[in-house]
């Protein structure tokens, strides 16, 4: 299984829509929904996970699992029950966010310092979510170091999590390479539930190394698939070839991307404030140019444009300089 990672401020419902139309991923996780001391209204969940109005799936039919972030077990449980009732395959819990502001308020990776609290949170959420729906979790290897990695994973398992995504870095490591995939194998030796490897998977070779080092076949893709939207298909093509099967889809070349840039811009234009619209397409092109040389010219052309109408005109007339 290949899972599309959540990335606040980048990989939100807009890119989830476009990347799942391109294909190659089997499931998505939403960016985190912050839970503090209140039961959030349905409109808050819908704002971050509009796919809940579509049976919990993207336009292309890929399931999206809402992710909650917080530290109060009962409040998280109440909110998990509400979002589960809105229609999704399950609820994910965030124990990996390294952002200082999030950690200061007792959320994300700071909780990895307290395995007992992890257990209490997952147990409360599991009791609140119908048995037919999954409760999963995402964690890092630890906060300042990885000494609690196994204890945290065991706590999540004991609380009732049925799957754990492990970002193979600590909070202190942030997003600096490398990802310590062999540490996932250490965790895998201790827990019985499925694990998913995450971190620094930029290409097929990275995917194969992550699998070999972690012992996990299932992967979560983040910046790598934003940079190369065909990464999921490329990994699946390798897997098919290993079984003597033809590739499930052709390589995603730059020539196939302009229609998806159009779709991306249409969604952004309908949901993002006008002053932030140009930044969103430039942000994606900035990632794309790391993989596609042709994206460099597109990025250079749009880099100084601040008027959405000019970007619309460019897309309509050329879409590819």
- Angle between helix 308-317 and helix 258-271 axes, rounded to 10 deg: 150
Give which of 234, 252, 248, 250 is closest to 295, Cα–Cα.
252
Q: Which residues pair with 11 in a beta bridge?
A: 7
Q: Please say if 97 is a catalytic residue.
A: yes
User: In the chain, what is the straight-line distance between the N-terminal and C-terminal CA atoms, in Å?
Assistant: 36
Q: Which CATH architecture has domain 2-242?
A: Alpha-Beta Barrel (3.20)
Q: Is pLDDT of 321 > 60?
A: no
pLDDT given for residue 8 in this prediction: 84
Q: With cut-offs at 50, 70 and 90, classify the pLDDT of residue 316.
A: confident
Which pLDDT score is estimated for 106?
Answer: 65
Residue 96 — very low, low, confident or very high, per pLDDT cuts 50/70/90?
confident
Contact 87, 51 (CB under 8 A): no
pLDDT in tens, 108-164: 788 999 999 999 999 999 999 999 999 999 999 999 999 999 999 999 999 999 999
Output the pLDDT for position 317. 78
For the chain, the domains span: 2-242, 254-317
**Is the Cα dihedral 76, 8, 133, 197 positive or negative?**
negative
Which band of pLDDT confidence, cut at 50, 70 and 90, is reported for residue 320?
A: very low
d(CA 209, CA 61): 30
Q: What dihedral angle (degrees, nearest 10) is formed by the CA atoms of 12, 15, 18, 20?
A: -60
Write the CA distances from 138 to 15, 135, 166, 193, integer angstroms: 20, 11, 6, 13
C-alpha 103/C-alpha 183 separation (Å) is 23
Q: How confident is the model at residue 207 (pLDDT cuts 50, 70, 90)?
A: very high
Question: What gap in Å lies between CA 152 and CA 158, rounded to an integer?
Answer: 10
d(CA 138, CA 153): 10
The two tokens of residue 46 are 């819908």
What is the pLDDT at residue 100? 67
Say what the pLDDT of residue 222 is.
97
Mean pLDDT of the chain, nearest integer: 94
pLDDT tens digits, 211-265: 999 999 999 999 999 999 999 999 999 999 999 999 999 999 999 999 999 999 9
SS3 138: strand
Given the residues 88, 97, 152, 216, the one annotated as active site: 97
Between 6 and 206, name the one with better pLDDT: 206
pTM given for the model: 0.94
- Rounded CA gap, 14 and 265, in Å? 9
Structure tokens at 135: 């409760």
Span 79-90, average pLDDT: 97
pLDDT score of 318 more than 70: no
| Residue 99 pLDDT | 67
Q: What is the per-residue pLDDT across 98-121, written as a single tens digit (0 to 9) for each? A: 766 676 666 778 899 999 999 999
Name the CATH superfamily housing domain 254-317. Answer: Dihydrouridine synthase, C-terminal recognition domain (1.20.225.30)
């Amino acid at each position: 299984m290949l899972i599309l990672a959540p990335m606040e401020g980048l990989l939100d419902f807009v890119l989830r829509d476009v990347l799942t139309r391109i294909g190659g991923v089997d499931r998505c996780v939403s960016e985190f929904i912050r839970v503090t001391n209140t039961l959030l209204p349905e409109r808050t969940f819908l704002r971050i996970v509009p796919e809940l109005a579509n049976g919990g799936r993207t336009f292309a039919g890929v399931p999206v699992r809402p992710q909650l972030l917080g530290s109060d077990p009962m409040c998280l449980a109440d909110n998990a029950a509400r979002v589960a009732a809105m229609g999704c395959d399950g609820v994910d819990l965030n124990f990996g966010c390294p952002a200082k502001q999030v950690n200061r308020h007792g959320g994300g990776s700071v909780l990895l310092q307290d395995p007992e609290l992890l257990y209490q949170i997952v147990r409360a959420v599991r009791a609140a979510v119908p048995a037919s729906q999954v409760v999963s979790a995402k964690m890092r290897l630890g906060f300042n170091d990885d000494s609690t990695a196994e204890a945290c994973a065991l706590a999540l398992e004991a609380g009732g999590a049925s799957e754990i995504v492990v970002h193979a870095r600590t909070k202190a490591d942030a997003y600096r390479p490398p990802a310590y995939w062999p540490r996932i194998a250490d965790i895998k030796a201790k827990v019985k539930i499925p694990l998913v490897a995450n971190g620094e998977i930029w290409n097929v070779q990275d995917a194969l190394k992550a699998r070999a080092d972690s012992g996990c076949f299932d992967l979560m893709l983040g910046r790598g698939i934003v940079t190369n939207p065909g990464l999921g298909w490329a990994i699946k093509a390798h897997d098919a070839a290993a079984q003597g099967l033809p590739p499930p889809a052709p390589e995603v070349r730059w020539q196939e991307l302009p229609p998806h840039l159009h779709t991306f811009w249409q969604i952004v234009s309908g949901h993002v404030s006008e002053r932030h619209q140009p930044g969103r397409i430039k942000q994606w092109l900035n990632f794309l140019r790391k993989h596609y040389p042709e994206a460099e010219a597109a990025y250079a052309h749009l880099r100084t444009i601040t008027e959405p109408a000019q970007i619309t005109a460019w897309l309509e007339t050329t879409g590819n300089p």
